[in-house]
Amino acid sequence: MPVWLAKSRAISHHLNRKVGFMGILHQNFWTSSCSRHSLSSIFIPAGIHEDHPTPHVFPFNSSITTRFSLQRFKSTKAASQLEQLYSTDDDDHDTSQALDFPGGKVTYIPEMRFLSESNGKRVPCYRVLDDNGEIIIGSDYEQLSEEIAVKIYSNMVSLQMMDTVFYEAQRQGRISFYLTSTGEEAINIASAAALSADDIILPQYREPGILFWRGFTIQEFANQCFGNKDDYGKGRQMPIHYGSKKHNFVTISSPIATQLPQAVGVAYSLKMDKKDSCVVTYTGDGGTSEGDFHAALNFAAVTEAPVVFICRNNGWAISTHISEQFRSDGIVVRGRAYGIRSIRVDGNDALAVYSAIHAAREMAISEQRPVLVEALSYRVGHHSTSDDSTKYRPVDEIDYWKKERNPVNRFRKWVERNGWWSEEKESELRSSIKKQLLQVIQVAEKTEKPPLKYLFSDVYDIPPPNICEQEKQLRETIYAHPQDYPSDVPL
C-alpha cells in the first residue's frame, strides 16, 4: 500500500506539473466562434440561457483565480464557460448580493424558483437539402467539390447494396449474424467525409460506412463476416465487428456505450501530445440511456478533450421507442447540462451532416473542446437479423421513411441537379458493386478458417497454465467427438 500511494503521488505531481490538471482559463469561448450568421451559431452553446444569446460573464474573484492558477493548455478556450452563468429573466436584482462559488458568482433572488423541466420549444434541426434535394434558401453549409460529392453518393449506394447482399447471405445461413445501416447511410458516409484520416474512430456497430470511406475493401468486410483466416480479428468476433488499425478505426464491441468514455481518454491523449486531430465516437439513442454516456460527457467536458460525440437518434433502441427512454427533448439538450456545445442535425441530409461534422471537428481541434451532435434519422431495417421490427412498429411507418425520406435518393437529386451524375453512371456503379459483392462472398466463403490456436493467443505473452490446460482439454474433446465440431477449422 505505501508503494502504491507513493506512485500515485508521483503520477499526480507529474500531471499537475506537465498539464495543469486543475487549470482554469479565462477566455471568452463565444467570441472564438464564427459569426452569428454562420453554422457555428446553430450550435447550442454550453451553459447559456436561450433567452440571452449574448452570455453574461462574471469574473472570478482574485482568491479563486489564485487558487486555480495552474492552466491546462493555453490554446484551450472551452474552460472559459465556467465563468458564464445561467442568467435570470430579472436582471434588476442586486448582483452585489451574490455567492462567490467555484465556477463563478451565483446571484441571490428572493423568489423560490424551480427550473422548468423544459424550455417549451424543441431545439430546431439544422437542414440544408429539402426532401426534393434542393438547397433551402439561406442555408449555411460547407461547399462540396464534384469529386467529394460523387464519392459520398457512390459510397452511400455501395453501403446500401452491401447491406442488402450480406443480409441475404445471413438469411441463407452462410453467415451467422448481420445488421444493416439502411436509412442511416448519410450519417455514415457524410460524417466520414468531413473527417481527416488521422482522426480516431470509436464506433458503435452501425458505422461501416466510415471504413468504406477510408478504403476498407468489400473483400475485407466479407472476410470479417465469414470469419476466415484473412479476418483481422482471426475469427474471434461476431460478424460486423470490424476493426482496422490502418484506418484508425477501433474494433467494434457489442456492449452498449462502453466506447464513449474510452473515446474521451483517447482524445485526452491526443491533447497531451498536441496532435492536430480529434476523436469521433458514435452511439445510438439507446446508448444514451447507459451510465457510460453520462460519464463520458462529464469526463470530456472537465478534461476539455477534443472529441466529437455523434448520436444517431433513429427513434428506436431495438424495440424500445424513444418516448419510453427519456422525457427530455432528445439528446441534444444533454450537452448543455454537462457544459458541452451541441447541435441537432437532419441525419437524412448528407450535406447537412457533412457541414455540421466539419464544423464540429474544427471546434474540437482549434478550441480543444468536446462537441455533441444529435443526428435525427430512422432505422429502416430491422435492428439486426435477430429482430423483426414489424412486431413493434407499423409497416407503413417503415415504408414512409424508406421511400419519402430516403437519404440516398435525396442526395442523388442534388448531385444530379449539379450535373455530376446520370442514369448511365448509376447503372454502371450498381452493376460493378453487385459483381464485386458476389465475387467477394465466394472468395470469403472458400477461404480457410483460422486455426484453433488463435482462440488462446494474443492475450498473454506467455500463456498461463490454466489457459494451456483449457486448450489441451478442448483438443481432446474435439478428437473424441469430431462429429460435433466444424471440420473446416484447422487443429
Catalytic residue numbers, as ranges: 168, 254, 383-384
Is-contact 189 212, C-beta < 8 A?
yes
For residue 317, the SS3 value is strand
Residues 258, 264, 267, 269: is their CA dihedral positive or negative? negative
All cell numbers assigned to 224: 470479417
- Tell me the DSSP string of 357-406: HHHHHHHHHHTT--EEEEEE----S-SSTT--GGGTS-HHHHHHHHHTS-
In the beta sheet, which residues pair with residue 282? 310
CA-based nearest residue to 94, from 110, 113, 115: 110
Q: Would you call 365 exposed, middle or buried from its count of C-beta atoms within 10 A (0-12, 13-18, 19+)?
A: buried
Give buried/exposed letters for 164-177 (b at 16+ CB in 10 A, else e): ebbbebbeeeebee
d(CA 80, CA 25) in angstroms, rounded, equals 6
- Helix pair angle (146-171, 185-193), 10° resolution: 140
Question: Could you tell me whether strands 371-376 and 307-313 are parallel, antiparallel, or unpaired per DSSP bridges?
Answer: parallel
**Other C-beta atoms lying within 10 Å of the C-beta of residue 362:** 17
Spatial neighbors of 119 by CB under 8 A, at least 6 apart, are 50, 329
Q: What are phi and psi of 225, to 5 degrees?
A: -65, -35
Residue 450: alpha-carbon gap to chain centroid: 31
d(CA 239, CA 163) in angstroms, rounded, equals 12
- Helix pair angle (350-366, 146-171), 10° resolution: 110
CA distances from 164 to 157, 161, 173, 334 (A): 11, 5, 15, 35
Is-contact 296 263, C-beta < 8 A?
yes
Place of cell 439502411: 182
d(CA 152, CA 255) in angstroms, rounded, equals 30
d(CA 291, CA 236) in angstroms, rounded, equals 28
Question: Could you tell me whether strands 320-321 and 371-376 are parallel, antiparallel, or unpaired per DSSP bridges?
Answer: unpaired
d(CA 124, CA 2) in angstroms, rounded, equals 55
CA-based nearest residue to 82, from 301, 264, 296, 373: 301
